[in-house]
Structure 1
Amino acid sequence: MENTYLINLPTEILYHIFDYCDIETILLKLGRICKRLRTIVYQYNRFHVEFNERNIMSVRHLLHIVPNHSIVSLNMHLMKRWYEIFNDLVHKYKSRFTRLRYLRIPEVKDEHSKNLFTNENSIELISLKIDFIDTPNYAIFSKLSSMLTKLNVQKLFCKMLEYEAKDMSWPIPCKLTYLKLRSCLYSEYFLLLLQLPCLKILELEECIMETENMCTPSSNISFISQLTCLIITNCSVPIEYLRSLILETPKLRHLKLCYQKEIFKSVVDICDWEKFIRTELNFLDTCEFLVCYKIAPNDKINLQLILAPFLESFWVNEKRWFICCEYVLGYSTIVLYTVPMNFNFYYYGGVCYAISAKINNYHLIQRLHNNIWTDGLKIISLESNEIGDNGARDLALALRNNKTLTTLDLTRNKIGIPGAEYFFESLQSSLVKVSLEENRDSCHLVVEPVSRIKNDQSLTKFSLNKIHFNDVAAKYIADALQKNTVLIFSHHSNIFNRLLYIKTIEELDLTREGP
């Protein structure tokens, strides 16, 4: 195959490469390789400029040589003098910013809002992102409204903006097609859509339910919303109220909801959610959701049973929406979510075992608070998580498919001999070291000999001198001896009572250490 070099690539491909490079790399490095690349660099008209405290001087210098009308994106980080620097740039290098379409600026204060964009009529933005640190007041929103009209903005990102209809009025007509806000009152949701007739994508962190007013006075307004995508990243709206939000937007095709609060109380609520999506949201092209509920620490956990409704043809074949069911160890929490995972799991950090409709077997993962997760775990500590025998069973199933784990600490987890057995059966051919100290019935001492007696047919002598026998331990030893025969003698009457039916006995040493 003939070698392909950068300088020989077609111009269109080089432009795509430039889109992922900063302005310094394009002008000072790629533009100095050869005459052809220099010509292509100075014809390129999609520069993205980013200002921060460390690069102010160098980027200012580059603006002297950057071609006119070629900057499409400007990102101003939070700096002490960002406002003065921005106004100076726009005034001094006016011709460079006539094609500016994407602007990100930090907090807009009252003194900034008076003159921001006042004298610059040449800028027309497509996207404006304002990183408010504090909730903007009425005066700032009024200025923002006039900016939207003046700059012809279509996409607005205001992470800290909390919409309130009585204080905020959008420009008329408003051309926004994308809007991201901090929150909106449930009762004012329809008013927001009414004021933004072109809006197609709405992203809210919260849709707030008012405890004193659960009705929707704005829902009687007759209009046809153009909304096609709704995202609520921290949803607390119950299903019966969520239905009214969704069904009033007939063009909605993409829905993403993340319930990080404990709105759901049991698996019954999950079934209601599944029925709601199946019957009310069948028109959706994509549906992403995360729902959860708490369980009692001693409840039996059957992830396969919880996942079963989401394995039917509607989900797997017709919609191709695959659901994962997860138990968060230490939090006694069941989580259901769509895969691939596109949610912030900040509230559910830790070790989890899960089963997915797509993978269809148990797997073990660790999700950190920064939303990084991995199934390539080497060391896991689950000390004092009240896992119990049922949790041990499912955790053992998850470990069967894990090829990287070396150490698992299950100290003080109320695991008995039945639960411990799951681990020894699942990990017989594995080098995983499992710590089961300080659990019930001295399971860490009983299970290993039980496993050896069951599986080692060549065994003729075995010492149990460290075991503290009780009825549970005696039962498991006796059951194991039905599959392997050895000679027994002991002063433990409960052992003999359970072993009377064993036909062939060769040798079992039950002597104890000490007197």
Structure 2
Amino acid sequence: MTMSTSSLDILPVEILHHILDNLDIQTILFSFRYVCKRFDSITTSYNYYNFNFESISKTRFLRICHMIPFEQVVSLTLSNRDKTHGQILLFISLFDINHFLRLRSLTLIRIEANDLKIFLDYTIHSSLISLSIDSQTLNISKNPVLNLLSSTIEHYTLQKLDLNMWPKNMQELQWPINCTISYLRIQNSITLNQFYIILQHSPCLQTIILKDFNANDTNENISTYLNPTPSLQLRSLICEGGRMQMDKLEPCLSLTPALVYLKLIGSGNLFNSSFDGYRWEHIIKNKLPLLEKFDFFVSVFTHVNFDTSYIEQIISLFQTSFWLDEKHCFVICDYIIYIHKVILYSLPICTSHFVYYSDKNKVSASNFTINNNNNSIMMDNVKQLDIYLSKVIDTDEIEDVSYLQFQNVTELTLAIADKWPEGSFKFLSTTINLFNIVKLSLSVNFSYEYMPSIVHSINKLLKYAHNINILSLFDYWAPDDYRTSIETVCSMITPNIKHLHIRVKNSDDIKFIIENFKHLKSITFEHAQNFIFTNGKFVEYLPVMKRHVSRWENQYALHVWLDNN
């Protein structure tokens, strides 16, 4: 036993438990517990297990399932996403959820309606504090599931709720009269009526996150709520990924005078005041007197003859003492020339998904002086970054960069139209912290002409960014032009890659990948439109598929959850 292991072994149980709190379940059961007998004993008695199965091989999932100490699990995450398709149904076949007596947090991702009913029957009698449901199944309304969900929301212990459902189901969901939820996230559009009802029936609600307010809502819909009671408990309102409609937002903000934080991310309109700093100043002064922080990221596509001088006019309305001295709000407005798009955003940037445009491709204006000291932390919230490499590489810009602009990006998408641009690796390594990247998506030109430089460059990137374990490979051109041999493309799949998303030409390509990459945990196959195969006979046709869980997402995509370690 090494000195470091001996020192760790003598630590008090409380400290070791705290270490376990910060380890994933696979590390605990397959590494930590085998260090020594004491660690094995500690893992056996540990009472705060978080079983997160979002990214796991089928083989390890089954091994862990034989080791689950039901009474010691406080958090459970099950997922039917591409990487672990079929997991929830397999879990149900193995266990009775009612055996998890101490469960406080439950997350269900891409769950089907019939499976959801089983879990909701459990939740209304449980002591759950946090519940997250992602169910995009069509037409689950008019069945007991929505009634069970309503009863769950009303459950006295529930404090945190995250819902992502089919829009029609959200509209038909009856919000209970009294609930204890303090944090609510709805990843759909909701009507103004629903927003009012949620506020009135949720006396403990402090944070609400939603997409936007339904554009189909009309004045007739809200006629019964002309004088609703303002909500004095709500402190934080976030709308992200939807449409910013001032005629919908203003009535809602009138009902939330106690807000201290407001964040808006979505598409706006140059003519409905969503870009109007003066209008926003008026709204905040008159409707949100307690607001401490306002974050926003608004974009809109313009006509091809857009007058770029309008960018300066937009920024001029954010140069008042209200924005600069009182709110300390730094604002930038960019016009992206080649796609005719206006983006207005506050800093530090509040969106987690960002598309990078170089200075040569945009016209910018700001209400402050931009320098390196400002920029060094302005992009820290960005987790997903998209870069069209063919349009951003500029040698002079690379030389001038003295800091990593994107420190916390974990998902990187690169697009290259022809050959891999010279200087791109230097640009990426001086712009992004590549060691944090775990997912890489590539849209590149896999033609014979460019293949040698592309294979070399991708392998160099993967070798340097060695924490990447999810790889998506796509031909930049239309699927019918996909001519490259699968062996050449697969030369870029390193042992670090555990999850693969790839376009294939035929069933032989699928067989080749499954049989030659035993280290993969899951694969999503997309195929060209001229590759036609009857879905129902596919598994039978390929014997190599019979031992795996697979599902057709649509006519052109097959998800496989592998039995590999």
Kindly provide the CA deviation profile for residues 239-295 of structure 1, in whole angstroms up to 9, marking residues without a partner as x: 354222112123222211113243546897344234434554341122211223537
Q: Is the 8 A contact 1:327 1:333 kept in 2?
A: yes
1:72 equivalent in structure 2: 74
Task: Map residues 295-334 of structure 1 onto 2, 5 A cutoff.
Answer: 297=305, 299-301=307-309, 306-334=314-342
Matched, 1:360 2:370: yes
Contact 1:238 1:263 in 2 (8 A): no
Change (3 A) 1:133 1:315: same
Q: In the alignment, does 2:133 pair up with 1:130? A: yes
Q: Structure 1: how far apart are the matches of 2:93 and 2:340?
A: 54
**Residue in structure 2 matching 1:148, options 153, 167, 174:** 153
Compute the displacement of 1:30 (Å): 1.2
Residue in 2 aligned with 1:194? 200
SS at match of 1:315: helix
Matched residues, number: 385
3-state SS of 2:197 partner = helix
Q: Which has the higher contact order (CA 8 A, sep 6+)?
A: 2
- The amino acid across from 2:126 in the alignment is I
Q: For each residue in 1:324-356, what CA deviation from the matched residue of structure 2 results, as whole angstroms up to 9, or x when unmatched?
A: 33222312333221222221557x664455555
Letter in 2 for 1:80: G
- SS of 2:149's equivalent in the other structure is helix
Q: Residues 265-304 of structure 1: matches in 2 within 5 Å?
A: 269-293=276-300, 294=302, 297=305, 299-301=307-309
State the partner residue of 2:345. Answer: 337
Is the contact between residue 105 and residue 128 of structure 2 (CA under 8 Å) also seen in structure 1? yes
The equivalent of 2:481 in structure 1 is none
**2:518 equivalent in structure 1:** none
1:243 aligns with 2:250: yes
The amino acid across from 1:227 in the alignment is L
How big is each residue's C-alpha offset from its partner over 1:441-500, in whole Å with a ceiling of 9 and x where there is no partner?
xxxxxxxxxxxxxxxxxxxxxxxxxxxxxxxxxxxxxxxxxxxxxxxxxxxxxxxxxxxx
Q: Secondary structure at the match of 1:173?
A: coil
Partner residue of 1:101 out of 99, 104, 115: 104
For 1:334 and 1:110, locate their aligned partners in 2 and report how far apart those are by CA, in whole Å: 41
SS in 1 for 2:339: coil
8 Å CA contact retained: 1:234, 1:261:
no
For residues 264 and 121 of structure 2, the distance between their equivalents in structure 1, rounded to whole angstroms, comes to: 39
TM-score under structure 2 length normalisation: 0.56
Residue in structure 1 matched with residue 165 of structure 2 by the alignment? 160
Q: For residue 125 of structure 1, report the CA deviation from its aligned partner.
A: 1.2
Report the equivalent of 2:219: 213
Q: Which residue of 1 is the match for residue 176 of structure 2?
A: 171
2:77 aligned counterpart, secondary structure: strand
| Map of 2:239 onto structure 1 | 232
Q: CA distance change for structure 1 residues 396 and 270 in 2, over 3 Å: closer, same or farther?
A: farther
Give the share of equivalent positions with the same residue, in percent.
25
Deviations 1:301-346 (A, max 9, x none): 4756643443554334433333233222312333221222221557
In the alignment, which residue of structure 2 is the partner of 1:37? 39
Aligned residue for 1:189, secondary structure, equals helix
Counterpart AA for 1:281 = L
The letter of the residue matching 2:191 is: L
Spell out, residue by residue over 1:36-77, the C-alpha distance to the aligned partner (whole angstroms, 9 max, x if none): 433443343222113369645544544555556321211111
SS of the residue 2:210 aligns to: strand
Partners of 1:303 and 1:143 lie apart in 2 by 51
Cα pair 1:186 1:209 within 8 Å, conserved: no
Q: Is the 8 A contact 2:332 2:366 kept in 1?
A: yes
Alpha-carbon distance between aligned partners in 2 of 1:86 and 1:232, rounded to the nearest angstrom:
35
Amino acid at match of 1:372: L
Cα gap change, 1:8 to 1:278, in 2 (>3 Å)? farther
**Cα 1:349–1:56 shift into 2, 3 Å:** same
CA shift, 1:202, in A, is: 1.6
Helix, strand or coil at the partner of 1:134: coil
1 or 2, which has the higher strand percentage? 2
Classify the secondary structure of the residue corresponding to 2:146: helix
- Segments of 5+ residues of structure 2 without an aligned counterpart are 404-565
Matched, 1:222 2:229: yes
Q: Which amino acid aligns with 1:315?
A: W
Q: Does 1:372 align with 2:385?
A: yes
Confirm or deny: 8 A CA contact 1:264 1:292 kept in the other structure.
no
Cα distance in 2 for partners of 1:349, 1:189 equals: 34
The residue type equivalent to 1:190 in the other structure is Y
Deviation at 1:81, TM superposition (A): 6.1
Cα RMSD, aligned residues only: 4.4
Displacement of 1:233: 1.0
* Residue 381 of structure 1 pairs with residue 383 of structure 2: no
Deviation of 1:85 after TM superposition, in Å, equals 2.1
Give the deviation of 1:131 after TM superposition: 1.4
**1:411 paired residue number:** none
Q: 1:403 to 1:223 in 2, by over 3 A?
A: closer
Instruction: Call closer, same or farther: CA 1:157–1:349 in 2, change over 3 Å.
Output: same
CA distance 1:302–1:116, shift in 2 (3 Å): closer
Going from structure 1 to structure 2, the CA distance change for 1:166 and 1:65 (only over 3 Å counts) comes to: closer
